[in-house]
Amino acid sequence: MPVPAVKARPPMQLVIGGGVALVAAIFVLYPIFYLLQAAFAVGDPNVRPPEAYGLDNFARLPDYWEIMLNTLSVAFAATLMALVFGFLTAWILTRTNVPFRKTLEQMMAVPYYVTPLLGALAWSLLGAPESGFINQVWRAMGGTGALIDVTGAVGIAWVMALFEGSVAFVMISAVMRSMDPSLEEASQVIGAGRFRTMMKVTLPLVAPGVLGAAIYVFAEMLGSFTAALVLGTPSRFYVITTAIYQLVSQYPPRMPLAAAMGVSLFAVMFIMLFLYRRVVAGRSYVTVGGKAFRPRAMDVGAFRWVLFGICFLYVFLSVILPFATLIYASVQRLAVAFPAADNFTLEHYRTAFSLNAIRSAMGNSLVLGFFTATLGVAVTGLIAWLIQRSRLPGRGVLEYIVMFPQAVPRLVFAFGMMWAWLVFPIPIYGTIWLLLIAYVTVFLPLGVRTITGVLVQLDKSLEECGEMCGASWGYRLRTITMPLLRPGLLAAWLLIFIASVRELGASILLMGPNSKVITPAIVEAFFSSSSELTAAMALIQTVVIGLAILVLVPLIKRASQHGSSSA
């Protein structure tokens, strides 16, 4: 007897999801393809597609051993410093009874928002060998020469560690927080002393997490650009990223060599991140259980004020001192360490606001940020859902592709984009559209990671129940998934918005004369005009971003609530 079958409707998931996934994959892989092509092309660099392929460009790299050495020593020093800061502060804040722990914990996230650019500008005002405030004070006290110098390897590493190293703190404290205190208690009950427990139980348990953080931070530092650009370039101290920028922006540009450098850097970072995944995935110690516990805080007595001092010092060096310096410098005619009444002025702010280039750059950045964040949340939200929840084939591959930009420094990625879109039939090179594509692509990992973090906490059966009630995919997304994900979507929107408005590495290569954005404009000002004006511009940018967030967040909240309640 033939049995009738219900007619299945066309799978919307496959059409829409597959489409978005495909576009994202093209945006990610297309530039990478052109980057590789440029790196392996030999012969006339102006002929495209290339006449022949070979390793000639890579063979020239050993001539630049000094740059490689600089890169390695800066990355190594920065990683070391970041780990020391991170480990100390993580241990203090998770395992001791340090006073004001909650406040300090919140303060630890702030340096990340200060950004390497502000940090580098501020520390160049503080620690430049001649004019640095600290060195001025040092000489006034009778010292000779420079007390500190932030234009060399150690100085650049110092700024990178302070402003880009907070991920070490986040990773290490996550490990320490997830450690079941009963593991240590078991050791003490058996009769081991506190020191023995520390050496035999605590350290081995946190070691894989610390190692993972070390590898991750080292990879980040290899690809770090901003601090080295601001601090190193004036004194001709180059690391690989600033060298690539130099090779691309000089006249005549040396694209093939830059591409070879970019590919090498990207290969090394890729290996590091692969190692990191191995270390984290291969961690055989189950320290993260489902049970909620607060790790036991060690009573350290009066020593806790010393520990408080250490945490405060970190916040002081990475937040308070840089901002104070920028504010102080921005209101002086000529930035000097010692105040003089006739030296104060608001002229730099007046200049900054009156410069048409700056006004349009800020405007462009805000508009771009808004659209990048909105588009980015829609795309990454859908992709995160497809990866985590759908039963579509190839979602594992999709995850690798969208997380790919994380392994490529934005500058190198932008180089690939520049090369790729120059030959694209539709002339979008040098327009704001290219920047939008670039931003959405490079912030795919940020959005996917943020939204996935919230999505995995959402019980799968909440959506499955909608399925069993007969709701279609689109209806379920609108009535169940999106409302429940709203905090995560909002967080992703904000993170992408902030990251876009402050983006430097990709923008500096891709912006055209009519599509200027603010952060590269600030860097240009730093190189071409005074550091006082630059300080004023950087502060204006920070305040404008803050104001934009204050205005936009309630608007988005309302819009998203309206969107879901109308269902």
Partner 1 sequence: MTTTPHIDVEDLVVQYGPVPVVGPISFSVSAGEQLTLLGPSGCGKTTTLRAIAGLEKPVSGRIQIGGQVMYDGARGINIPAEQRGLSMVFQSYAIWPHMSVFENVAYGLRVRRKSGAEVRQRVGEALELVQMAGFADRMASQLSGGQQQRVALARACAFSPSVLLFDEPLSNLDAKLRGDMRVELRELQHRLGVTSLYVTHDLEEALAMSDVIIVMKGGHIEQNGSPEDIYNRPRTRFVADFVGSANLIAGRLEAASSQGSDVTLHTDDGVVIRGVAHGRKRGERATLSVRTVHFMLSDDAAIAAPNNWPVTVRRSIFLGDMRQIHVGWAGQEIIIRQTRGPEWREGQQARLSVEPEHCVLLEGD
Which residues of the shown chain bind partner 1 in the complex (CB under 8 A)?
A: 3-6, 8-9, 11, 391, 459, 461-462, 464-473, 475-476, 479-480, 483-484
91 neighbors 111 (Cβ within 8 angstroms): no
Query: What's the min distance (Å) between Cβ of 218 and partner 1?
Result: 35
Backbone angles phi, psi at 41, to 5 degrees: -75, 135
Residue 297 or 482 with smaller CB distance to partner 1: 482
Query: What's the min distance (Å) between Cβ of 564 and partner 1?
Result: 8
Provide the 10 A C-beta neighbour count for residue 286: 9
C-alpha–C-alpha distance, residues 460 and 117, integer Å: 41
The dihedral built from the CA positions of residue 327, 332, 338 and 340, taken in this order, carries a sign that is negative
Instruction: Name 84's bridge partners.
Output: none
Query: What's the min distance (Å) between Cβ of 487 and partner 1?
Result: 11
Residue 10 or 425 with smaller CB distance to partner 1: 10
Query: What's the min distance (Å) between Cβ of 555 and partner 1?
Result: 21
β-strands 41-42, 52-53 pairing: antiparallel
Query: What's the min distance (Å) between Cβ of 453 and partner 1?
Result: 18
Backbone angles phi, psi at 55, to 5 degrees: -105, 15
C-alpha–C-alpha distance, residues 376 and 493, integer Å: 8
Query: What's the min distance (Å) between Cβ of 388 and partner 1?
Result: 15
Residue 356 or 565 with smaller CB distance to partner 1: 565
Report the greatest alpha carbon distance in the chain: 104
Instruction: Name 42's bridge partners.
Output: 52
3 state DSSP class of 177:
helix
Query: What's the min distance (Å) between Cβ of 376 and partner 1?
Result: 24
Residue 45 or 483 with smaller CB distance to partner 1: 483
Residue 108 or 386 with smaller CB distance to partner 1: 386
353: tokens are: 């606001």
Please give the DSSP secondary-structure letter assigned to residue 55: S
C-alpha–C-alpha distance, residues 558 and 190, integer Å: 57
Dihedral (Cα; 49, 54, 60, 61), 10-degree rounding: 90
C-alpha–C-alpha distance, residues 185 and 559, integer Å: 50
3 state DSSP class of 472:
coil
Residue 51 or 467 with smaller CB distance to partner 1: 467
Query: What's the min distance (Å) between Cβ of 387 and partner 1?
Result: 17
Residue 49 or 470 with smaller CB distance to partner 1: 470
Query: What's the min distance (Å) between Cβ of 304 and partner 1?
Result: 39
Residue 8 or 302 with smaller CB distance to partner 1: 8
Residue 9 or 102 with smaller CB distance to partner 1: 9
State which amino acid sits at residue 23.
V
Residue 339 or 474 with smaller CB distance to partner 1: 474
Query: What's the min distance (Å) between Cβ of 437 and partner 1?
Result: 34
Please give the DSSP secondary-structure letter assigned to residue 14: I
* Of residues 310, 444, 320, 299, the one with CA closest to residue 384: 444
Residue 177 or 486 with smaller CB distance to partner 1: 486
Query: What's the min distance (Å) between Cβ of 49 and partner 1?
Result: 41
3 state DSSP class of 132:
coil
What distance lies between CA 256 and its chain's CA centroid?
27
C-alpha–C-alpha distance, residues 90 and 94, integer Å: 6
432 neighbors 368 (Cβ within 8 angstroms): yes
DSSP states of 338-349: S--GGGB-SHHH
